[in-house]
Amino acid sequence: MKAFLRENPAIGFGLGLPLLLAIVFLVISGIPALFVDPPKYDVIYATGYHSYQEGVQVAVVGGQVQVTLRGASQSNLQVPRLWRYFAASGAVQEIAITLPPNLPTEVAATLAAIPIEVADLEGLSVDPASIAPDGYEFRSGGDRSSGNIVGELLVSSRYRHHAQLVKDGRAIRLPNTGNAYYNQQTRLIGWVIEP
C-alpha cells in the first residue's frame, strides 16, 4: 500500500486531505466548549405550543409563570408540554399541566381566562427575556449557531430544527424539542432566576 501511494501521490493527497480537514473541523468545533462557561440558569420552555387566541396559554406575568385556559372546547383542546432544563446537571423534567376536571361549558363561548394551577411552577421567579443573565440565548427553528461561514460549516443541520442555548459559539441542544412541523411550536417561557 505504501509503495502504491508513493507512486501515486495525487491519490494519497486526495484521500488524506478530506480526512485532515475533518479532524481540523472537529477540533475547531470543540474549542468553544472549552472556553465558554456552561449555563448557570435553568430554562423553562414549551413544546407543541400554538399561539392561538383559544386554548392553553402560558405566560410570565410579574416574574411568575401563569397557565390559563381560554375559550376552547375539550374536544379540540391543544395542551402544550412544559419542560424545565436544569443547567447544573443537563437533566430535563416535564412539568405536568393538569386541566380542571369540571370545566364550565360557557368557556368555549367566551374568551374568559380560567387559571390552571401548576404545582411545579409555584414559587419560581422567572425572567422571560430571550437572553439569560449569564449571556446564553434561547434559539429554535431555523436559527443558526453562528453568523459566519465557519459556523455554517461546523453546525450540523440537525441542530437547526431543535431548540438550543447558544453563547459565543457554544451550542447546547435542548431535549424533546425536535420533530416539530413548525418551528414556532417550541417556545421559551423563561429563565429560572430563583428556585
pTM to 2 decimals? 0.72
- Please give the pLDDT value at position 129: 94
- Please give the pLDDT value at position 44: 95
Residues 6 and 80 in one domain: no
Domain count, the chain: 2
What does the alpha-carbon distance between residue 128 and residue 133 come to, in Å, rounded to a whole number?
11
- Please give the pLDDT value at position 4: 77
Residues 57 and 106 in one domain: yes
Structural domain boundaries enclosing 30: 2-35
- Please give the pLDDT value at position 148: 47
Residues 82 and 117 in one domain: yes
Amino acid identity of 21?
L
Count of alpha carbons within 13 angstroms of residue 182, beta-carbon side: 7
- Please give the pLDDT value at position 43: 95
What does the alpha-carbon distance between residue 92 and residue 83 come to, in Å, rounded to a whole number?
7
DSSP E strands in 9-168: the ranges are 42-47, 55-61, 64-70, 81-85, 92-95, 113-116, 125-127, 137-139, 164-167
Residues 159 and 71 in one domain: yes
Phi, psi values for residue 190, rounded to 5°: 170, 175
Question: Are 56 and 49 within 8 A, CB to CB?
Answer: no
What does the alpha-carbon distance between residue 138 and residue 160 come to, in Å, rounded to a whole number?
13
Q: Pull the grid cell for residue 135.
A: 449571556
Residues 46 and 28 in one domain: no
Residues 87 and 173 in one domain: yes
Burial of 111 (C-beta count, 10 Å sphere; 0-12/13-18/19+): exposed
- Please give the pLDDT value at position 98: 87
Residues 18 and 53 in one domain: no
- Please give the pLDDT value at position 77: 73
The stretches in the chain having pLDDT less than 50 are: 143-149, 156-160, 183
- Please give the pLDDT value at position 183: 45
Q: Pull the grid cell for residue 99.
A: 386541566
Residues 14 and 79 in one domain: no
Residues 90 and 58 in one domain: yes
- Please give the pLDDT value at position 89: 92
Residues 69 and 156 in one domain: yes
Residues 172 and 113 in one domain: yes
Residues 30 and 83 in one domain: no
Strands 137-139 and 170-173: unpaired
Q: Give Cβ neighbours of residue 111 (< 8 Å, ≥ 6 apart).
A: 53, 54, 70, 71
